[in-house]
Chains A and B, each alone.
Chain A
Amino acid sequence: MAQEPILTARGLVKRYGRVTALDHADFDLYPGEILAVIGDNGAGKSSMIKAISGAITPDEGEIRLEGQVINFRSPMEARSAGIETVYQNLALSPALSIADNMFLGREIRKPGIMGSLFRKLDRAEMEKRARAKLSELGLMTIQNINQAVETLSGGQRQGVAVARAAAFGSKVVIMDEPTAALGVKESRRVLELILDVRSRGLPIVLISHNMPHVFEVADRIHIHRLGKRLCVINPKEHTMSDAVAFMTGAKEPPREALAA
Chain B
Amino acid sequence: MGEPNAAAQPSQEFEKVLVNSSTQVASFDTHDKTPIQKIQHFLHSTPAAVPFIVLVAAILIFGLTIGGKFFSSYTLTLILQQIAIVGILGAAQTLVILTAGIDLSIGVIMVLSAVIMGNSAVTYGLPAPIAIFLGFLVGGACGFLNGFLVSRVKLPPFIVTLGTWYIIMATNFIYSANATIREADVTAVTQMLHVFGVSFKIGSAVFTLGVVMMVVLVLGLWYALNHTAWGRHLYAVGDDPEAAKLSGIRTGRVLLSAYTLAGLIAALAAWVSIGRNGSISPSAAVTDYNLQAITAAVIGGISLFGGRGSILGTLIGAMIVGVVSMGLNMLGADPQWKVFLTGVLIITAVAIDQWIRKVAG
**Pairing of A with B:** yes
Q: Is B65 an interface residue (CB 8 A)?
A: no
Partner of B239, one of A75, A94, A106, A188: A94
Give chain B interface residues in 293-317, CB to chain A under 8 Å. Answer: 307-308
Are B2's CB and A188's CB within 8 A? no
A189 close to B (CB within 8 Å): yes
Chain A interface residue count, Cβ-Cβ cutoff 8 angstroms: 53
A212 to B2, CA, bound (A): 23
Please name all residues of chain B whose beta carbon is closer than 8 Å to the beta carbon of A192 when the two chains form the complex.
7-8
Q: Mark A147-189, 1 if CB is under 8 A from B, else 0.
A: 1101111011001000000000000000000000000111011
The residues of A that contact B249 with a CB separation of less than 8 Å are 104-105
Closest A residue by C-beta to B27: A141
CA gap between A249 and B317 in the complex, in Å: 63
Among the 9-residue stretches B107-115, B222-230, B318-326, the one with 4 or more Cβ atoms under 8 Å from chain A is B222-230
With an 8 A cutoff between CB atoms, is B174 at the interface?
Answer: no
- Whether A96 lies near B235 (C-beta < 8 A) is yes
Q: Does A76 contact B (CB under 8 A)?
A: yes
A138 nearest CB neighbor, chain B only? B2
Contact indicator per residue, chain B 1-35, by CB within 8 Å of chain A (1) or not (0) = 11100011011101100100100011111000000
- A96 in contact with B25 (CB, 8 Å): no
The answer to whether B229 touches A159 (Cβ under 8 A) is: no
CB-nearest residue of chain A relative to B5?
A: A192
- Contact partner of B229 (CB less than 8 A), chosen from A95, A119, A153, A184, is A119
B44 interfacial contact with A, CB 8 Å? yes
- Least Cβ distance of A45 to chain B in Å? 17
Q: Which of A20-28, A83-91, A228-236 contacts B (4 or more CB under 8 A)?
A: A83-91
Contact B242 A89 (CB under 8 A): yes
With A75-B246, A150-B360: A96-B239 Cβ-Cβ less than 8 Å: yes
CA distance A155 to B25 in the complex (A): 9
Most buried by A among B14, B44, B360: B360
In the complex formed, the residue of B with least CB distance to A100 is B232
- Chain B 133-148 per-residue mask, 1 if CB under 8 angstroms from chain A, else 0: 0000000000000000
Please indicate the chain A residues that have their CB under 8 angstroms from the CB of B230 in the complex: 119
User: B236 near A104 (CB under 8 angstroms)?
Assistant: yes
CB of A156 within 8 A of CB of B243, answer no
Nearest-neighbour CB distance to chain A for B87, whole angstroms, equals: 24
Kindly provide the distance from the CB of B126 to the nearest chain A CB, expressed in whole angstroms: 32
B332 in contact (CB, < 8 A): no
Judge if A107 is at the interface, Cβ distance under 8 Å. Answer: yes
Contact of B247 among A104, A118, A143, A156 (CB under 8 A): A104
B204 in contact (CB, < 8 A)? no
**Bound Cα distance A105, B245 (Å):** 9
CB contact under 8 A between A92 and B232, given known A106-B248, A139-B26: no
B330: chain A residues at CB < 8 Å are none
Q: CA–CA, A89 to B239, complex, Å? A: 14
Instruction: Check A120 for interface membership: any CB of B closer than 8 A.
Output: yes
In the complex, what distance in Å separates the CA atom of A168 from the CA atom of B26?
23
Q: Which residues of A contact B155 (CB under 8 A)?
A: none
Question: Could you tell me the distance in whole angstroms from the C-beta of B153 to the nearest C-beta in chain A?
Answer: 20
A189, B1: Cβ atoms closer than 8 Å: yes
Interface residues of A in 92-112 (CB under 8 A from B): 92-96, 100-101, 104-107, 109
Would you call B45 an interface residue if the criterion is a C-beta within 8 Å of the partner chain's C-beta atoms?
A: yes
Given contacts A104-B248, A118-B223, A185-B25, 18 further A-B contacts (CB under 8 A): A75-B248, A93-B239, A95-B235, A95-B239, A95-B308, A104-B247, A109-B229, A119-B224, A120-B227, A139-B2, A143-B29, A148-B45, A151-B360, A153-B26, A156-B28, A186-B25, A189-B25, A192-B8
Contact sample, A vs B, 12 pairs, CB 8 Å cutoff: A76-B250, A89-B242, A91-B247, A92-B243, A93-B236, A94-B307, A96-B232, A96-B239, A119-B224, A138-B3, A155-B25, A189-B1
- Seen from chain A, the residues whose Cβ lies within 8 Å of a Cβ on chain B are 55, 74-76, 79, 85, 87, 89-96, 100-101, 104-107, 109, 118-121, 123, 137-144, 147-148, 150-153, 155-156, 159, 184-186, 188-189, 192, 195, 212, 216
